[in-house]
Amino acid sequence: MNGRERVARYLEGRPVDRVPVAPVIDGYFAPRVSGRPSHECWRSPELMAQALCDCATTFGHDIVVVSDALGAGNTMLGCPVELDESSHVPLYTGHCVDDPADLGRLQPAPFAGSPGEATLLAVKARLGGDRFILGVVTAPFEMAFIARGHSFLADLVQDRGFAQKTLAACLPLAEARARALVAAGVDGILFKDSVASSSMISPRHYAEFAFPWEKRVIEAVRDEAWTVLHICRNAGPIVELMAQTGAHVLELDAPCDVARAMASTPAGVFFKGNVDAVAELQDGAPEDLARRVEEICAVARRTRRLIVSTGDSTPYDTPLDKLHLFMSTGWRSGALEGPGEGCAS
Amino acid sequence: MSDIYDDLASDIVRGDIAAATGRLQTHGAARLDDGRFLDCVARGMDEVGRRYETGEYFIPEMLASSRVVKALFAAYTAVRPRPPATSGLSAAIGTVKGDVHDIGKEIIVNSLEGLGVRVIDLGTNVDAARFVAAVAGGARLLMISAFTTVTRRYVRVVLDELAAAGLLGRAQVLVGGAAANPEFCAAIGAGYFRDARAVVEFVRTTLLGQAPAGARTASRLRPGG
């Protein structure tokens, strides 16, 4: 049973040989393995695809997240981006919406012919059919934050109308990208809404400003692809609403209590997480990491609703042997009784 | 009868920039009493900080309140020489190269200016040379922010450059931001601060010798520190 089959069957509630194991290994970490500088990989679809595929081969994770930062959020919004040799991640260095008149600038950029499409197609050519391929879409709330900068968060208090207009302007961009990814043949879409976290905004603001737009963009494609909703750090107070977006999978970060989240959401909702990518995977003692992965595997085996993962992207400086430890522990502890119906191996 | 200073403090807490600026315009910024004005700003931000600590407020409320303070100070300083910077303390703050997060920084800048500190805002994505230049230029408190673990490494570069310039020790160095932690800061010989509120309290009590925010009950914020 390969990773793609395993994840799809698991999400369908069908028997599998083991629970899926898929730490978030995306463009922030992948260049480590390829040996090419991060800034070169972010600028080159071929190099980024190579780096992601090399990681998939090296670590064997079931889900490959196809990073698309230069093609997705940034170029669509036209925000200035800096990517120099000392940096491992592209950085927004400014915003593009200062007042309502600027909202007209937010126009969907064609996916066809974009760096994002080129990266995705190259990854699919090498891994499609073998791994579960997740495309990435920046959700409207996070997109509005990128477009307006921190002013967007103040708008939630001081100019709610402008905040909603900004979100409404971002929705078509997110929908267009999601539909383009579906058309390009991804298995699932990861909707990133990191800023909508209860570590940043109140649950009340989440309900008013983030949730409705998440729900709309997810509903646009949820019948055509698996959908994953990611919110950084603390999402505990909003997990019930997250489930109401219709997302098939909720990716929870380390501060969240997954057992409690499961208890408060319908049985059909899956979760993905939630090893702390920094404190446990990158910086933690190996024995602590192994114990944590075992604990998550135990929950996954018992509930069959949890994909064993990190709660956020694997940091660039993560030791390679820690990732190997994560995977080997997950494979061993995530094994399920019997090979499962229709298992190929 | 309502008191403009109480009303302004309330506007800050509510993040109501329209009410605050309108109120100030009606009253006249030139008529403000320096001490009472600074006190009401501090009281407002104290309450905002308290609500943030207790989980009643989040980042948007903090930013909204900071915006109100910024607008009030813009109106206040427009009609008089900049009296708030009278504490004698000069500070510089910036987010390290490769990082553009500045929520905490914005709050710190506004709050410290409210305490009478001269704050040089270096901005975001700041290279080591600019931090060094700020210290060479007289800053005695250097606040460095790093939000991601990727950019956290650059904090060490800044300290190395300070040492190379012979300036290490001339300024007290504080490191904050989501990627900072006590272990990292101890390892590089810098002070660690969990959040903007903690920095402001440290400056208020330790560097300026003022009473802690919770201990102040009336107009005790002295322009001149």
Phi, psi (5° rounding) for residue B160? -60, -40
Same domain for B114 and B59: no
What is the Cα Rg of chain B in Å? 17
Among candidates B60, B99, B153 on the partner chain, residue whose Cβ is nearest the Cβ of A157: B60
Burial B78-87 (b: 16+ CB within 10 A, else e): eeeeeebbbb
CATH value at residue B103:
3.40.50.280
Q: Is residue A344 part of a domain?
A: no
Report chain B residues whose CB lies below 8 A from the CB of A201: 58-60
Question: For position A17, what pLDDT does the model report?
Answer: 95
Nearest Cα residue in chain A from B124: A93
ipTM value: 0.89
Report chain B residues whose CB lies below 8 A from the CB of A91: 98-100, 125
Nearest Cα residue in chain B from A82: B98
Question: For position A340, what pLDDT does the model report?
Answer: 39
User: B88 vs A159, which has greater pLDDT?
Assistant: A159
Q: How does residue B151 score in pLDDT terms, banded at 50, 70 and 90?
A: confident
Is the distance from CB of A72 to CB of A54 less than 8 angstroms?
no
Domain extent for B68: 4-83
Q: How does residue B87 score in pLDDT terms, banded at 50, 70 and 90?
A: confident
Helix (H) or strand (E) holding A308: strand A306-310
Residue A205, chain B, CB below 8 Å: the answer is: yes
User: Does the beta-carbon distance from A87 to B106 stay under 8 Å?
Assistant: no
Number of domains in chain B: 2
CATH value at residue B32:
1.10.1240.10
Q: Is residue A125 part of a domain?
A: yes
A91-92 and A81-82 beta bridge pairing = antiparallel
Structure tokens at A254: 């380390």
Average pLDDT, chain B: 83
The alpha-carbon gap from A206 to the nearest alpha carbon of chain B, in Å, equals: 11
Label residue B100 exposed, middle or buried (CB < 10 Å: 0-12, 13-18, 19+): buried
Is the distance from CB of A89 to CB of A96 less than 8 angstroms?
no
Q: What is the dihedral of CA B31, B36, B42, B44, to 10 degrees?
A: -70
Same domain for B96 and B74: no
Is the distance from CB of B37 to CB of B68 less than 8 angstroms?
no
Q: What is the mean pLDDT of residues B136-149?
A: 89
User: Does the beta-carbon distance from A154 to B154 stay under 8 Å?
Assistant: no
CATH value at residue A154:
3.20.20.210
Q: Convert the pLDDT of each residue in A114-135 to its tens digit.
A: 888 999 999 999 998 999 999 9
The yes-or-no verdict on residue B204 having pLDDT over 80 is: yes
Nearest Cα residue in chain A from B100: A93
Q: Is residue A39 part of a domain?
A: yes
* Angle, alpha carbons A73-A75-A81 (nearest 5°): 90
User: B154 vs A55, which has greater pLDDT?
Assistant: A55
**Interchain CB contacts (distance < 8 Å): A and B:** 70
Residues within 8 A of A (CB atoms), B 45-64 only: 57-61, 63-64
Task: Tell me the pTM.
Answer: 0.83
Residue B17, chain A, CB below 8 Å: the answer is: yes
Residues within 8 A of B (CB atoms), A 104-143 only: none
* Start-end of H helices in A44-114: 45-59, 75-77
The alpha-carbon gap from B132 to the nearest alpha carbon of chain A, in Å, equals: 19
Report chain B residues whose CB lies below 8 A from the CB of A87: 97-98, 150-151
Q: How does residue B45 score in pLDDT terms, banded at 50, 70 and 90?
A: confident
Q: Convert the pLDDT of each residue in B90-139 to its tens digit.
A: 999 998 887 666 656 766 887 788 788 999 999 888 999 999 999 999 99
Q: Is residue B216 part of a domain?
A: no
Report chain A residues whose CB lies below 8 A from the CB of B60: 153-154, 156-157, 201-202, 205
- Regions of chain A with pLDDT less than 50: 71-74, 339-345
Q: Is residue A340 part of a domain?
A: no
Residue A154, chain B, CB below 8 Å: the answer is: yes
Rounded distance, CA B101 to CA B155, Å?
14
Q: Is residue A105 part of a domain?
A: yes
Question: For position A94, what pLDDT does the model report?
Answer: 76
Domain extent for A137: 3-316+326-333
User: Does the beta-carbon distance from A154 to B63 stay under 8 Å?
Assistant: yes
Question: For position B200, what pLDDT does the model report?
Answer: 84
How many Cα neighbours within 13 Å face the side chain of A129?
Answer: 2
Q: How does residue B82 score in pLDDT terms, banded at 50, 70 and 90?
A: low
Q: Is residue A191 part of a domain?
A: yes
